């Protein structure tokens, strides 16, 4: 079955770059996503990448995909305190989204 | 534009009591609908999904059930809540594979 894994926690200083990593197992994944969850709220889609792309950049966000190693990363440049949240990686297989366990990003001033 | 409504936002229920959480979607037709649970400190667990009225698939055996009486309505229920049912429940919808849209969630505490 599908499996998506992330590290649980990341702490960075304000202004530094954050890199959140994710590995997945389903080689048939067509889209891979990054969602952000702020405290007590639902999930919001940050960005997604199609599986035939290696990189996607959107303002401070850079997504890197290594399809051979089934590794996805999210880089946040110039991390701000407002970026503190849980970040979920997800893959699509058919109609389903399979989520990782989430990485809690803490940004220290 | 499409919107998703999920209620209530918070709920405290005694063990053994029934549960009904409702989710409705506006602005789209025939969406795929999902119920996820997020236990404290853990990731998202897919509980149920539905591709159409009356079509429910369960991902994990549990004390909960789901129903889809209308195209844009998805209900999560339980006849008798357990302490282990406590968590943050999220409803979501999608049309294509590009993304899913989430409700604001219901925090359920079973006491």
What are the pLDDT digits (tens) for B36-56?
A: 998 766 678 889 999 899 999
- Residues A63, A86: Cα–Cα separation, whole Å: 16
- Residues A70, B40: Cα–Cα separation, whole Å: 28
Q: Is the pLDDT of residue A104 over 90?
A: yes
Q: Does an H or E element contain B21, and which?
A: strand B19-26
The whole-angstrom distance between B106's CA and the closest CA on chain A is 9
The whole-angstrom distance between A66's CA and the closest CA on chain B is 19
In 3D, which of B41, B84, B83, B94 has the Cα closest to residue B60?
B84
Interchain pair B42, A101: CB under 8 A: yes
Higher pLDDT, A100 or A96: A100
How many other C-beta atoms lie within 10 A of the C-beta of residue B47?
A: 20
Rounded-to-10 torsion of CA B87, B103, A90, A5: -20
- Give ∠ CA B13-B19-B22 in degrees, rounded to 5: 120
What digits encode the pLDDT tens for the residues A13-66?
Answer: 999 999 999 999 887 778 899 999 988 888 898 999 988 899 999 999 999 999
SS3 B52: strand
Find all residues with CB under 8 Å of A79, minimum gap 6, and list them. Answer: A12, A13, A14, A15, A16, A17, A18, A105, A107
Residue B106 is encoded by which pair of tokens? 């219901």
Q: Is the pLDDT of residue B70 over 90?
A: yes
Residues 15-44 of B with CB under 8 A from A: 32, 34, 36, 42-44
Residue A47 is encoded by which pair of tokens? 């960005």
Residues 64-83 of B with CB under 8 A from A: none
């Amino acid at each position: 079955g599908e499996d998506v894994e992330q590290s649980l926690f990341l702490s960075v200083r304000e202004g530094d770059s954050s890199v959140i990593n994710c590995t997945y197992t389903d080689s048939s994944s067509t889209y891979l996503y990054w969602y952000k969850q702020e405290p007590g709220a639902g999930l919001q889609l940050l960005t997604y990448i199609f599986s035939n792309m290696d990189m996607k950049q959107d303002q401070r966000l850079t997504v890197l995909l290594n399809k051979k190693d089934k590794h996805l990363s999210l880089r946040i440049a110039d991390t701000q305190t407002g970026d503190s949240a849980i970040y979920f990686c997800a893959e699509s297989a058919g109609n389903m989204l399979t989520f990782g366990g989430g990485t809690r990003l803490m940004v220290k001033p | 534009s499409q919107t998703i409504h999920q209620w209530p936002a918070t709920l405290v229920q005694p063990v053994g009591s029934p549960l009904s959480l409702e989710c409705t979607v506006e602005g789209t037709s025939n969406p795929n609908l999902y119920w996820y649970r997020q236990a404290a400190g853990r990731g998202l667990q897919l509980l149920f999904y539905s591709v159409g009225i009356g079509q429910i698939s369960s991902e994990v055996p549990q004390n909960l059930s789901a129903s889809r009486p209308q195209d844009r309505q998805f209900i999560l229920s339980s006849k008798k809540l357990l302490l282990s049912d406590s968590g943050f429940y999220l409803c979501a919808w999608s049309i294509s594979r590009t993304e899913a849209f989430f409700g604001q969630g219901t925090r359920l505490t079973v006491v």
